[in-house]
Amino acid sequence: MQRCFLLMIAVVILQSINAQGVLKGLVTDKDTHEPIIGATITDAVKRKPLTVTNADGCFVIPKKGDAQHSAQQIKITYIGYKPLTVKATANGHYELEAEISKLGEVVVTAQESRGLTSASKIEKHAMEHLQPSSFADLLELLPGGRSKDPVLSTPNNIHIRELSTGNANYATSSLGTSFVIDGAPISTNANMQYMAGAWDAAATARDNTNAGVDMRSISTDDIESVEVVRGIPSVEYGDLTSGLVKIERRKGGHDLNFRLKADMGSKLMYVAKDMEWQEKHLSLNLSADYLNAKADPRNRLENYKRVTLSARLNKAWEHESYNLQLTTNADYTGSFDNDKQDPDLNYHQEDSYKSSYNRMALMSQLQMKMKRQLWLKSVGLTVSAAYEHNLMERTRFIQLSRMTVAPTSKEEGENDAYILPFKYVGYHKVDGKPLNTYAKLNMRLQVPSNKVSNTLLLGADWNIDKNLGQGQVFDPYKPVYTSISSRQRALKEIPANHRVSAYAEENIKWPTPVGTFELMAGIRGTQMLNLPQAYTMHGKTYWDPRANIGYTLPKLTVFGKPTFIRLAGGIGQHTKMPTMEQLFPDKLYIDFIQLNYYHDNPDYRRINLMTYIRDPRNTALEPARNLKWEVSTDITLGGNRLAVTFFREKMTSGFRSQSYYDTYTYKQYDASAINADALTAQPDLGSLTYQEVNELAGYANYTNGSLTLKEGIEYTLETVRFPVILTRLTINGAYLRTTYNNSIVDSYRPSVVIDNRQLQYVGLYANDDGSVREQFNTNFTLDTDVPKLKLGFSLSAQCLWFTTSQRKEVSNYPTQYIAPDGSIHEWQDEYANDTYLRWLVRDYSASLFEKNRVPFSMNLNFKVTKKLLDDRLNVAMFCNRLLNYAPDYDSRGTTIRRHETPYFGLEMNLKI
Amino acid sequence: MKKNLFASIIAMLTVGMTLTSCSDDKTPIVPQTAVSLEIPANLENVDLSGAKVVMTNVATQSAHVVSSDNLFQKNGNKYQVLINDLEEGTYNISISGHLDFTLNNVAGQKDFEITSENVKISETSAAVQMVVSTFTAQGGFVISEIFFTGTSTAEGKSYSGDQYIRITNNSDVTLYADSIAVLESAFLTTQKQEYTPDIMSTDFSVQACYMIPGTGKSVPVEPGASLTLAVNAINHTAEQPNSIDLSQADFEFYDESSNANFTDPDGKAPNLDKWYCYTATIYQFHSRGFNSMAIAKMKATKEDWLANNVYDAKYLFVFGDFSREMTKKGIYKVPNSWILDGVNLSVESVREWNVLDASIDAGWTYCGKVDKDETRFNKAVIRKQDANGKYVDTNNSTNDFTPEAAASLVKN
């Protein structure tokens, strides 16, 4: 496939077209100076269409003799813009004026993108107004979003178009949302930062393995704009199922910026220096950011800190035939969680959790844009490398309440367990050093045409994830978690994940008298390399075809106002490869007690184990695949815009951890024959009688059993700013419906002990667990901008009309059960009365599957910004839930009262 | 191992019975004298053995002895023995013997010797009423102490392996502890729910049932003596100096497990028979005392009880904006009639209700006044004793127990 690809590049480069004898021009938006793609150039006299602008906004008209040419009048038209009739000049730059000018407009909300697929664009102004602490706060602006108090003591995951339950078995949506910063994706595939055996909230609540990017670690201060693609992204972007977050950071400028922010849980400081040497086409942006947040302001010992440092160098070279642009970014992100018990309250014993995430990233992007009329329009090469040094540490004074053993054998077979001392300081660390390298070659080609504006995108990328860390490191003789069932293994032993992809996409814009047709259709193929042959994915290419089409009606006039209507739709497949942990999970050590002998003399105690090693890797694991489709309409009436999208996303192969049971054999020694008084050493196993026993033991492995179905309608209505009151109304919201379902047979072994032994049976339950959640919300945002007073404020009434949740009805009765010898039996109704088997009947009551509906509630949020000192100082404050209306409601005879408290914050931005 | 150490005391009576008066005086002979023996009314299934009636004629000092058990006729709560051809006269009567019985379902035994002096026996007065009054057979096994909090270590951590419960024979007869089970409530006293069906007036819902094994008379407990049932019957002071040496405990709550994460040390004390427990991990008492405890004489076989004494309860669970009818499936129950004693445990700041029927315990007791009270360690709930050293048992633990008492087995 790659060879083919190289051949194509060569062909394209050779196919340069003689650029002589043509007249060139560039068409841009008068306000934004962005190129206008697909504008029609017509001979103003003959009224004959000549050509259309290409993806760079450029057009070329063949010369028809010098004399005739110089006097040529051309008419440039594009929907949404006032037609421009002008005399053509050589290398002319034509600016089209929008029907409704947005010049000087300050937008403090997210805007629906003008692209073919549904995406939200969040610009700098909106962020300044929102006053975020981390990227997570921006999600309030998406349809379906609502202001939430920042929770910075645990990882923040993204859930686009989803009403998440937080269940780790349905985390593929957040794992499958790709964050691309300045063209380089953040990879979390080699994240192995989980604390094996942990049961305490300090460690488990902060586990972000297989859940994607932790948005806390993304600072918003350098961001110029964000595009959250909720719909079907270009095939240029891969290894995602659910969405794409494209972050563009500031380039150039001359300011020295300071930002100080404080809210009820955190403080943030930011300083940035922008430098630009225009004549050299060189710019450098330096910035530093520090965030300090506490879960509870009264507790200094549980906190979260973030430090980000960024240096971004941009250099451009302009040549006659091409422009070259080089972007080089160096970034550091430090993200630190601390949770410690106060030693003064803990008898001076240590009990602490620390997690540090240190990410150093270097990326370089070289972009070459052809000025000449070639098939090849641009070539871009992006190379990035990110090295993380992540360390999780748990130190804890352990005092056992009973004799506890530490199984230490790394071999399968019989062995004696180590009996732990009753007191020790346990230390467990997780050392992860994920290294990600990424390279992408991208090129845009164009078949010259004067009928359609077209671009062919071709590219390939290669991603390597490796973890060089030591993984779980602990002294097995002093474990923090005595019930740990894995042993140490260095992460560098795990083979690197290689992922190669190639893609091709055609973008067409075809203006016709009956409207403009647009098409974006492409395909992406992805394969994982370096996988052992046993894996189903070995050598298999997964294809993601994606297409979006659009049709824009010709300009209409409604109520005397220019009106534009666009209808669009798309369908696409999205693939997310499993992570390193999902492909190569830790081996599981299952230890059965064969002899448990206690003696007053510690030297005579003996606990003999039979150790089995189970490799829980599932070689049949395949990528998670999400099929999305959506239809949307975008109506602009006199500058008021309504965008409505109906979508449906079905991912049937989401990752989940599922438990399975196998039967194991071990010896059960009879210790009653031991004469305790006659012992002079540990009892000898050879002299004891035993019985061979079968027992079932479970292990978990990753499967593709999670279904996530997302459906809904997203809508945004943006009005123009009403002149006298200087106020603009934005209504956005969504009806979202998320269905979760497990398609794999679930198994369950009750923990009860009947007649001295744990129940020896395991029930198998078909198609277990699942839920349906719905939410309908509307945010009414009135934002007022008073330029004279340099004052902007917004009032947002965030109405949650209802939320519902309903568990999928599952049977309490197993379909089958497993006996200790591993044999599987069909379930019979009469077993429900059997002394032992009855415990396999679970206790879900019918009402658990009833729909739970939470009625209307509304928050009123207020934000204000004021510019002072010649716009150099910007002071802002916000109050979320200044007013909260959440009436009591009845739920099955119980009155539920709801109450929420306001959340405040304020900040200062200084520009020098 | 508690052996049947109870030494049966055989009354050794003087053997002057060879001396038989043989006179020619015309002392009238009473052809049949009925001696009846009344035994305490609250004893059931009474069996008299080794019985001996000695009737000594005060005038002649001749003694008439009847010592054949089969001559004693049982009639209701009375025994009667008929003595033939007794001379009229005044007698000193002594009856001794050994009683086996059940008292409130618990097997017990007692030797007795009662006497009555100067009883006139004539033809017109040929019936003698004797009452066994040397013991009252009141009371029975009671929970005398529950140490559920555990001890605190020098490092300020809690150590719960040394929990124990003591049960005491509060009667004046020897009772057998065989088949007495320690029960832990399935419901929490800190979480009230309207369970349907509500069986509290007839049964106790349990989540753990550990029974003292025995063949019926394997574990005699003398009046006033106690049994210590330890969660771990080992010498804890070896590892934990502030703790207790429980290696001499009478029984142990041992949890057999094949899972290396849950190793329970098996001390020398015999293990309780674990009929049922809600968890396959290590069993221990709720260290804040949220569950009520009881002891019951298990009247069914293990198989029978396990098969036939389980029910499902429904209740409405409300938490925040979540309100649902829930089912608590598989709750074992023990009839209140089997229960010998029960104690509601709770914590004042979070207490919601009693989970034992008021006929068993109308009150409740505690260690710690607030939830997670760190001052509760080393403390137990101990039943009060009256002036005679008897445990007070009014079926109201608020009245009967001393809360937050220093645990009796903890030193200092």
- Give the minimum alpha-carbon distance from A813 to chain B in angstroms, rounded to a whole number: 13
Residue that is last in its domain, among B131, B162, B184: B131
Q: Check B323 against A896: CB less than 8 A apart.
A: yes
Q: Please give the residue of chain B at the shortest CA–CA distance from A419.
A: B263
Best mutation target among B160, B246, B263 (most A Cβ atoms within 10 Å) is B263
Q: How far apart are CA B231 and CA B265, in angstroms?
A: 10
Q: Helices H, strands E: what count in chain A?
A: 6, 52
Average pLDDT, integer, range A853-863 = 93
Report DSSP letters for A520-565, one per residue.
EEEEEEEEEES--TTSTTTT-EEEEEEEEEEEEPPPEEETTEEEEE
CB neighbours of residue A577 within 10 Å: 25
Q: How far apart are CA A102 and CA A785, in angstroms?
A: 14
Among A58-72, A839-853, B178-192, which stretch is predicted with the lowest mean pLDDT?
A: A58-72
Residues A712 and A579 in one domain: yes
Whether B18 maps to a domain, the answer reads: no
Confidence at residue A13, expressed as pLDDT on a 0 to 100 scale:
45
Whether A588 maps to a domain, the answer reads: yes
Residues A349 and A458 in one domain: yes
Q: Which residues pair with residue A204 across a beta bridge?
A: none
* Phi, psi for residue B56 in degrees, rounded to 5: -105, 120
Q: Check A898 against B321: CB less than 8 A apart.
A: yes
Q: How far apart are CA A141 and CA A499, in angstroms?
A: 33
- What sections of A140-245 are H helices per DSSP? 172-175, 201-204
Whether B197 maps to a domain, the answer reads: yes
B235 closest CB neighbour out of A399, A600, A668: A600
Q: How far apart are CA A421 and CA A402, in angstroms?
A: 10
List chain B residues with CB under 8 Å of A839: 330
Residues B220 and B350 in one domain: yes
Q: Check B321 against A896: CB less than 8 A apart.
A: yes
Which one-letter DSSP state was computed for residue A100?
S
Whether A101 maps to a domain, the answer reads: no
- Give the minimum alpha-carbon distance from B205 to chain A in angstroms, rounded to a whole number: 15
Residues A30 and A130 in one domain: no
A835 closest CB neighbour out of B161, B268, B306: B306
What does the longest C-alpha to C-alpha distance in chain B come to?
102
Residues B126 and B153 in one domain: no
What percent of chain A stands above pLDDT 90? 62
Q: How far apart are CA A541 and CA A499, in angstroms?
A: 10
Q: How far apart are CA A810 and CA A281, in angstroms?
A: 64
Residue that is last in its domain, among B131, B151, B185: B131
Residues B147 and B90 in one domain: no
Residues A606 and A700 in one domain: yes
Are residues A770 and A735 in contact, defined by beta-carbon separation less than 8 angstroms?
A: no
Q: Check B263 against A405: CB less than 8 A apart.
A: yes
The DSSP H or E segment spanning A431 is strand A423-432
- Give the minimum alpha-carbon distance from A483 to chain B in angstroms, rounded to a whole number: 5
Q: Give the pairing type, strands A453-467 and A471-474.
A: unpaired
Strands (E), A721-790: 727-742, 746-748, 753-754, 757-758, 762-765, 770-786
Whether A9 maps to a domain, the answer reads: no
In this prediction the ipTM stands at: 0.85
Whether A585 maps to a domain, the answer reads: yes
The amino acid occupying position A870 is D
A843 closest CB neighbour out of B158, B310, B328: B328
* C-alpha dihedral (A292, A298, A300, A303), degrees to nearest 10: -50
Whether B110 maps to a domain, the answer reads: yes
The CATH number that applies at residue A49 is 2.60.40.1120
How far does Cα A132 stand from its chain's mean position?
Answer: 18
State the residue for tokens 């020619």.
B24
A508-556 pLDDT, tens digit each: 988 888 988 999 999 999 999 999 999 999 999 999 999 999 999 988 8
Q: Please give the residue of chain B at the shortest CA–CA distance from A841.
A: B329
Whether B174 maps to a domain, the answer reads: yes
Residues A655 and A729 in one domain: yes
Whether B10 maps to a domain, the answer reads: no
The answer to whether residue A68 scores a pLDDT higher than 60 is no
Q: Please give the residue of chain B at the shortest CA–CA distance from A892.
A: B323
The DSSP H or E segment spanning B304 is helix B302-308
- Residue A80 sits in which domain range? 20-96
Residues B97 and B175 in one domain: no
Residues B217 and B248 in one domain: yes
List chain A residues with CB under 8 Å of B265: 402-403, 596, 598
Q: How many domains does chain B have?
A: 2
The CATH number that applies at residue B39 is 2.60.40.10
Edge-to-edge strands of the sheet including B251-252?
B251-252, B226-230, B164-169, B141-147, B379-383, B401-406
Residues A265 and A231 in one domain: yes
Residues A547 and A602 in one domain: yes
Confidence at residue B19, expressed as pLDDT on a 0 to 100 scale:
40
The CATH number that applies at residue A233 is 2.40.170.20
Among A250-259, A616-625, B63-72, B350-359, which stretch is predicted with the lowest mean pLDDT?
A: B63-72
- Give the minimum alpha-carbon distance from A525 to chain B in angstroms, rounded to a whole number: 46
Residues A92 and A124 in one domain: no
Residues B230 and B86 in one domain: no
B307 closest CB neighbour out of A422, A835, A839: A835
Range of A3-7, A344-348, B262-266 with top mean pLDDT: B262-266
The answer to whether residue A111 scores a pLDDT higher than 90 is no
If pLDDT is split at 50, 70 and 90, which confidence band does A732 have? very high
Residues A502 and A628 in one domain: yes
List chain A residues with CB under 8 Å of B331: none
Q: Please give the residue of chain A at the shortest CA–CA distance from B309.
A: A835
CB neighbours of residue A760 within 10 Å: 16
The answer to whether residue A209 scores a pLDDT higher than 60 is yes
Q: What is the mean pLDDT of each run of 10 residues along chain B (412 residues)?
A: 40 37 65 89 88 90 85 85 88 92 88 91 88 87 95 86 95 94 96 92 96 93 95 91 93 92 89 94 92 95 94 84 80 95 95 95 94 90 93 94 94 69
A694-712 pLDDT, tens digit each: 999 999 899 999 999 999 9
The answer to whether residue A557 scores a pLDDT higher than 90 is no
Q: How many domains does chain A have?
A: 2
Q: How far apart are CA A331 and CA A286, in angstroms?
A: 10
Q: Check B329 against A835: CB less than 8 A apart.
A: no
Residues A92 and A128 in one domain: no
Residues B177 and B285 in one domain: yes
A276-326 pLDDT, tens digit each: 999 999 999 999 999 999 988 888 889 999 999 999 999 999 888 889 999
Q: Check B232 against A402: CB less than 8 A apart.
A: yes
List chain A residues with CB under 8 Å of B298: none
* Phi, psi for residue A823 in degrees, rounded to 5: -75, 145
Q: Check A753 against B159: CB less than 8 A apart.
A: no
Best mutation target among B196, B248, B274, B324 (most A Cβ atoms within 10 Å) is B324
List chain A residues with CB under 8 Å of B164: none
Whether A77 maps to a domain, the answer reads: yes
> Residue A329: how many CA atoms within 13 Å on its side-chain side?
26
3-state SS, residue A588: strand
List chain B residues with CB under 8 Å of A401: 150, 158-161, 284
Q: Please give the residue of chain A at the shortest CA–CA distance from B247.
A: A600
The answer to whether residue A502 scores a pLDDT higher than 70 is yes
* Phi, psi for residue B399 in degrees, rounded to 5: -85, -35
Q: Which residues pair with residue A522 across a beta bridge?
A: A505, A546
B277 closest CB neighbour out of A405, A597, A753: A753
Are residues A35 and A26 in contact, defined by beta-carbon separation less than 8 angstroms?
A: yes
Which one-letter DSSP state was computed for residue A12?
H
Whether B6 maps to a domain, the answer reads: no
Residues A127 and A80 in one domain: no
Residues B54 and B77 in one domain: yes
Where is pLDDT greater, at B7 or A723? A723
Q: Check A422 against B239: CB less than 8 A apart.
A: yes
Residues A75 and A222 in one domain: no
- Give the minimum alpha-carbon distance from A755 to chain B in angstroms, rounded to a whole number: 4
Are residues A95 and A77 in contact, defined by beta-carbon separation less than 8 angstroms?
A: no
Average pLDDT, integer, range A477-493 = 88
Residue that is last in its domain, among A61, A96, A131: A96
Q: How far apart are CA A468 and CA A431, in angstroms?
A: 9
Between CA A378 and CA A387, with CA A381 as vertex, the angle to 5 degrees is: 155
Q: Check A592 against B321: CB less than 8 A apart.
A: no
Q: Please give the residue of chain B at the shortest CA–CA distance from A484.
A: B261
Whether A103 maps to a domain, the answer reads: no
Whether A521 maps to a domain, the answer reads: yes
Q: How far apart are CA A119 and CA A112, in angstroms?
A: 6
Q: Please give the residue of chain B at the shortest CA–CA distance from A754.
A: B276
Q: Check B275 against A755: CB less than 8 A apart.
A: yes
Residues B291 and B345 in one domain: yes
List chain A residues with CB under 8 Å of B160: 401
Q: Please give the residue of chain B at the shortest CA–CA distance from A606.
A: B265
List chain A residues with CB under 8 Å of B320: 896
B325 closest CB neighbour out of A752, A845, A898: A845
List chain B residues with CB under 8 Å of A612: none
Residues B188 and B274 in one domain: yes
Residue that is last in its domain, among B110, B131, B152: B131
Residues B359 and B221 in one domain: yes
3-state SS, residue B238: helix
- Residue B363 sits in which domain range? 141-406
List chain B residues with CB under 8 Å of A479: none
What percent of chain A stands above pLDDT 70? 96
If pLDDT is split at 50, 70 and 90, which confidence band does A82 have? confident
Residues B206 and B224 in one domain: yes
Whether B136 maps to a domain, the answer reads: no
Whether B20 maps to a domain, the answer reads: no
Best mutation target among A753, A811, A837, A896 (most B Cβ atoms within 10 Å) is A753
Q: Check B278 against A346: CB less than 8 A apart.
A: no
Q: Give the residue among A907, A820, A911 at the shortest CA–CA distance from A864.
A: A907
Residue that is last in its domain, among A44, A64, A96: A96
Confidence at residue A10, expressed as pLDDT on a 0 to 100 scale:
46
Whether A282 maps to a domain, the answer reads: yes
Average pLDDT, integer, range A827-851 = 90
Best mutation target among A345, A756, A811 (most B Cβ atoms within 10 Å) is A756
